Structure 1
């Protein structure tokens, strides 16, 4: 694989992985910002992730390895290239006496072309996907290129004791040119991409309760349970390190409480007791189970979400507690509950799922309820005069 193509593979693989890691936050952002998911903006976000990783791969990788002092002595650069348009002389010298067909394939020519092409997507993304105006989009390309060249010249700001790539003012110029070209063609190239401000303008409109919205709410609840447990567990271990105390090699009792019991209460129990009684995931996707009375709300929160969280907590009990059989059964039960909860949504009336069947909840779009309530409050009472 050549030095010209391997960063593209890194960009695709790394970008897909990055997009996967950021998928839940992206979905949450879309639902809250636009009022609903937008498939074309989601595709755009995936493209941005791939491009971002590819840009880093092309401009900053590979990094020196091994004995950095020896590497710098053999391969490091002593100064930056600060003469504008030096690439013109480099191309002239490299292609002297060659026919045009050979000259345009010269590495000196291809390097300049790549520097321009590399930043065309930047201009397209910033101008059309992010919605910036032309001059700010070009300025952002200049700033990004300047940051890259500075990073190269300073050896990632001192992490590497030399300039491991040439900091080149011509790269700054050609990158900015690429950003300009991308910004100019962006309205045509991404004409099919809906603008964020247009979508946000309609975010208050009620939408149908779809299977995808219900599944997204469930995914957000599950992510909140796992994510909160992870954060609390890491925080606990950092406190132990800061206090100079040994960290447990496996889970201890405090680990288990912070990583499982606390998230169980915060994610599944607490929401049922406050506000509308909707789970955090349901609130995020503008849904309301429409239940009155805490017993029914707790029942809805318990089946299946709370039971799934409880089974997950039991499956993670420390080995020293001697509950390995219980943990194994809980692990299987958690998987079964998750499958049943997901499968039940499309086969229940109103997409209310297993929790709705058990508790009698009818899931509704909270924005529709708000409009109905506002309309009711604006109506004159029977005794009022016109």
Structure 2
């Protein structure tokens, strides 16, 4: 699991330096020209949100395999059966509903960790959209679905046809889990907001 998490985050950190120059700094300049001052809080928010999105994107495309490796793959391209991940968890882990001793070991298996990761991937997205940008519930759900669809189409296209075929699976369960993650982020925002002063969001 660490091979799929830490390298993308490290790559995102270095890429973020360039993203800051291309997007965040011009944003700060526009803020200054429009209002005569720069809100450090707003700039920090754009910085952190940009970094999160870059990390999320890299996590769904990295590590990049070689062209020859992908060309010889014979794995499925798509998984279109809803809730297949749940069925796989029940049938391929040590989990037994009537045996509580199997609960914790089952949560450590990849059949649980991978879907859980897909759920958690977009929880910050829902938090950002509600807390910082004040989007409604419906808009957050739609935005979370669109972000997930972008991720899945990126994988289905073989990284925009750079590869001869997909090297990761287009999974309808990922669409469901990512959308639920963003929705959960929206719903827990009131708890998250308590970590900050009441005037924090009002300054936006």
TM range (shorter): 0.7 to 0.9
- How do 1:7-22 residues align onto structure 2 when only pairs under 5 Å count? 7-22=8-23
Separation in 2 of the partners of 1:76 and 1:32?
A: 55
Structure 2 residue 82 is matched with structure 1 residue 84: yes
Find 2:185's aligned residue among 166, 182, 187. 182
Change in Cα spacing, 1:22 to 1:158, as seen in structure 2 (3 Å) is closer
**Deviation of the 1:78 alpha carbon:** 3.5
**Deviation of the 1:64 alpha carbon:** 3.0
**Deviation of the 1:59 alpha carbon:** 0.9
Find 1:172's aligned residue among 175, 181, 187. 175
- How do 1:201-280 residues align onto structure 2 when only pairs under 5 Å count? none
Secondary structure at the counterpart of residue 99 of structure 1: helix
Structure 2 residue 64 is matched with structure 1 residue 57: no
Change in Cα spacing, 1:71 to 1:25, as seen in structure 2 (3 Å) is same
- How do 1:41-56 residues align onto structure 2 when only pairs under 5 Å count? 41-56=42-57
Change in Cα spacing, 1:184 to 1:29, as seen in structure 2 (3 Å) is farther
Separation in 2 of the partners of 1:123 and 1:34?
A: 28
Instruction: Tell me if the contact between 1:127 and 1:183 (Cα under 8 Å) persists in the aligned partners.
Output: yes
Instruction: Tell me if the contact between 2:94 and 2:105 (Cα under 8 Å) persists in the aligned partners.
Output: no
- 1:352-375 superposed Cα distances (whole Å, 9 cap, x missing partner): xxxxxxxxxxxxxxxxxxxxxxxx
Please name the residue that 2:138 is paired with.
135
Secondary structure at the counterpart of residue 4 of structure 1: helix
- 1:28-73 superposed Cα distances (whole Å, 9 cap, x missing partner): 12224444211221211111121011011111222333xx2x3234
5+ residue gaps, structure 2: 96-100
| RMSD of Structure 2 on Structure 1 (CA) | 2.3
Q: Could you state the TM-score of these two structures normalised by the residue count of structure 2?
A: 0.83
**Deviation of the 1:21 alpha carbon:** 4.1
- 1:238-275 superposed Cα distances (whole Å, 9 cap, x missing partner): xxxxxxxxxxxxxxxxxxxxxxxxxxxxxxxxxxxxxx
Find 2:156's aligned residue among 143, 148, 153. 153
Change in Cα spacing, 1:19 to 1:173, as seen in structure 2 (3 Å) is same
Instruction: Tell me if the contact between 1:76 and 1:165 (Cα under 8 Å) persists in the aligned partners.
Output: no
Please name the residue that 1:114 is paired with.
117
Separation in 1 of the partners of 2:72 and 2:91?
A: 25
Secondary structure at the counterpart of residue 72 of structure 2: helix
Separation in 2 of the partners of 1:33 and 1:178?
A: 35
Which fold has the larger relative contact order, with Cα–Cα distance below 8 Å and residues 6 or more apart in sequence? Answer: 2
**Deviation of the 1:86 alpha carbon:** 0.3
Secondary structure at the counterpart of residue 4 of structure 2: coil
Instruction: Tell me if the contact between 1:41 and 1:194 (Cα under 8 Å) persists in the aligned partners.
Output: no
Separation in 2 of the partners of 1:116 and 1:88?
A: 13
- 1:174-217 superposed Cα distances (whole Å, 9 cap, x missing partner): 0000000111223442455435xx65xxxxxxxxxxxxxxxxxx
Separation in 1 of the partners of 2:148 and 2:74?
A: 21
Please name the residue that 1:75 is paired with.
73
**Deviation of the 1:75 alpha carbon:** 2.9
Separation in 1 of the partners of 2:5 and 2:184?
A: 22
**Deviation of the 1:9 alpha carbon:** 2.6
Q: Which has the larger radius of gyration?
A: 1
**Deviation of the 1:82 alpha carbon:** 0.3
Secondary structure at the counterpart of residue 131 of structure 2: helix
Change in Cα spacing, 1:168 to 1:108, as seen in structure 2 (3 Å) is same
Please name the residue that 2:98 is paired with.
none
Change in Cα spacing, 1:64 to 1:188, as seen in structure 2 (3 Å) is same
Secondary structure at the counterpart of residue 186 of structure 2: helix
